[in-house]
A and B are shown apart, each in its own frame.
Chain A
Amino acid sequence: METIIQGVFNGALMGCTYALIALGLSLIFGVMNVVNFAHGDFVMLSMYFTFWAGSIWGVDAALTPLITFPLLFSFGIIVYYGLINRTLREHYTIQIAVTVGLMTFLRAITQLVWHAQPRALPYSFIQGNIHLGGYVIALSRLTSATISLIIIAGISFFLSKTWPGRTIRATSDDLDAASLMGVDFQKTYALAFGLGSSLTAIAGSLLMTFQQVDPTMGLRFGLLSWCILALAGLGSIPGLLISGLIVGVGESLAMTFWDPRARSLVIYLIFILVLWLRPRGIFGRK
């Protein structure tokens, strides 16, 4: 029983960060209907930037979002204008092909610069455990989950209360109507893509406080966030958070009770079952 609760705790904390990654994907896919296969590799890239910032300049991993956020935001904008914008009117397979090309490129670059072995940072200053009535909670995970929640709440506020956020939602609802109301869809798309990418920067930096990184982990994060998105459906941020928690807890329980290798198995099985039974997601809007 205690192991179950401990597993649920750990999984839920991870789930918050997963939800943050999926939120970035949801912004990109929900607004411009572009399938970004490189999303998981954005996470991987920002983990490597965090590693760099940490190992060269000695910046603590918990503070690196301040560097990686603007970095990935501008990277997202460059990618949007350089690649995505040119393929918007093509068949969706062409968009996938171009993002797969980007994915291969990012993976190759990281392999070239940082080599293939896993990298990790020395302990962050938010290290240590909290003991809570027999359960152990890693402080780094708790901090990441908290920051993730704050960011998700912030994005939610941004989308509903500010003018740029509203243009994003309007474009996602009806592109033509939004354009007629004076929304510059190019800028909105670029903003959504940049924002979606920069959310992975925060997630990547947070993950780096307790995880290691290697060039091949992008695909796992990519599929993971698609799974959360499938579970949540489009357009619901609380739904996204709950789905993130479900996936995180499922993964953690599979690791403790079944087999550490089965962690991705559970996620993908949830993914396929949800697609079969609830194609619009559990909390979907459309």
Chain B
Amino acid sequence: MKHKKDRIIEKFLLLLLLIFALIIPLIIGSNQYNVLLVTTVLLYGVMATSWNIIGGLAGQLDLASFAYLGLGAFTSGTLFIRYNFSPWIGMVIGGLVAVGFALLIGIPLFRFRIREVWYALTTCALVEILKVVFTMWEEVGGPVERYLPYYRGSLYHMRFGSYIPYYYLILGLLLIVLLVNYRITKTKLGYYLKALGEDEIAAEALGVNTRVCKLRALVYYSFLIGVAGGIYANMYGYVHPSFFNGQESIKVAILGIVGGRGIAYGPLLAALLLVGIQEFLRASIGGEVSGLYLVIYSVILILVVLFRPKGIATIFQGIYQKLIRREVKKEDV
């Protein structure tokens, strides 16, 4: 049983974090580049936390996150460019398109019982397939960037002329994604997913309809990332087939793994730390020695995996529990 005081401390800590997240742009807002960096880190947080639903809970190593991001970006962007559709509606449609695509792929994948490595590789190939398809599909994609119409500060068009509003948009989305994660772990679906994440065959033997469960997890995951894609397109102001980035999709999954599989805030923590370090290094030394920041980043990644295979989140859990225990002891005395 959790101590009542623990919950209060937990809520207090969360509130503190939220306030900190809210005032970040006020501190660094004078430099747009820094705001973009912080927003990028948060975006990876959104993606890795969404990934947690399919990867952490359901145990399916999905490497297609940027496929859904790209689909969301292209849907919202193309609707905007061609029909002057508001991205606010466009990003929801983008999420739905991503879901449609996910179902199109997911139904046969789970029907044919493709698991583990083969699932990972299929989804990895999917990103590359979409990249080629969108490069060849001249009406929508093509090899040249397609810029979104420029408006300075139009709420309807989600164009602000500054990165700060996008920061808050992504932050809002991050909160929603975290909430969805927590809600799912509390429902029946969450328990089913956890069971099949641990041992798929055993879960099936106990009567869990693994196919439907995995599909539902896939739907949540692809929708959330598709919506993020809509914001992504508007933030950068263009759409391009390079949005379908296999390498970065793998990175999202790695953040989910390194964060601690199945712990809702683990992937976010990993994104904040690892992507934060990477972007910081890129901004500080990336200009002088190209590639050095990636060397440092990958060494950190390997060390974390070797020495904390259960996830970064476990480090913080340990520290947190020690703190709590000390509090309790003081109380007893």
Contacts and interface: CB of A to CB of B under 8 A. Distances in A.
B128 A275 contact: no
A104 B132 contact: no
Interface residues of A, number: 45
B292 interface: yes
B299 A98 contact: no
Interface of A: 35, 37, 83, 86-87, 90-94, 96-98, 100-102, 104-105, 107-112, 115-116, 216, 219, 223, 226-227, 230, 259, 261-262, 264-265, 268-269, 271-272, 275-277, 279
B162 interface: no
A261 B128 CA distance: 11
Given A90-B309, A93-B61, A97-B254, A223 B294 contact: no
B112 A83 contact: no
Given A96-B257, A261-B135, A261-B136, A101 B118 contact: no
Interface in B117-150: 117-118, 120-122, 124-126, 128-129, 132-133, 135-136
Nearest to A114: B291
B298 A101 contact: yes
Q: Which 7 A-B pairs have the closest CB atoms?
A: A108-B294, A111-B291, A112-B291, A105-B298, A104-B298, A101-B302, A268-B125
Interface string B98-123: 00000000001100111011101110
A98 B302 contact: yes
A265 B133 contact: yes
A94 B258 CA distance: 8
Given A101-B302, A223-B121, A275-B122, 7 more contacts: A96-B117, A97-B257, A97-B258, A105-B299, A111-B294, A264-B128, A268-B126
Contacts of A262: 132, 136
B194 to A, nearest CB: 14
Nearest to A110: B291
23 contacts: A87-B309, A91-B309, A96-B257, A100-B250, A100-B254, A104-B298, A105-B299, A108-B295, A109-B291, A109-B295, A219-B247, A223-B124, A262-B132, A264-B128, A264-B129, A265-B132, A269-B129, A271-B122, A272-B122, A272-B125, A275-B114, A275-B118, A276-B109
B17 interface: no
Given A83-B306, A90-B309, A96-B120, A104 B297 contact: yes
Which residue, B109, B120, B306, has most C-beta atoms of chain A within 10 A? B306
Nearest to A111: B291
B229 to A, nearest CB: 21
Contact of A279 (B114, B289, B293, B309): B114
A97 to B, nearest CB: 5
Contacts of A90: 309
B134 to A, nearest CB: 11
Contacts of A102: 298, 302
Contacts of A91: 261, 309
Nearest to B124: A223
B292 A112 contact: yes
A277 B118 CA distance: 13
B304 to A, nearest CB: 9
A75 to B, nearest CB: 15
A83 B117 contact: no
Nearest to B297: A104
A153 to B, nearest CB: 28
Contacts of A115: 290
A108 B129 contact: no
A42 B246 CA distance: 18
Contacts of A268: 125-126, 128-129
B37 interface: no
A98 B122 contact: no
Contacts of B306: 83, 86-87, 98
Contacts of A226: 121
Nearest to A107: B294
Nearest to A229: B121
B305 interface: yes
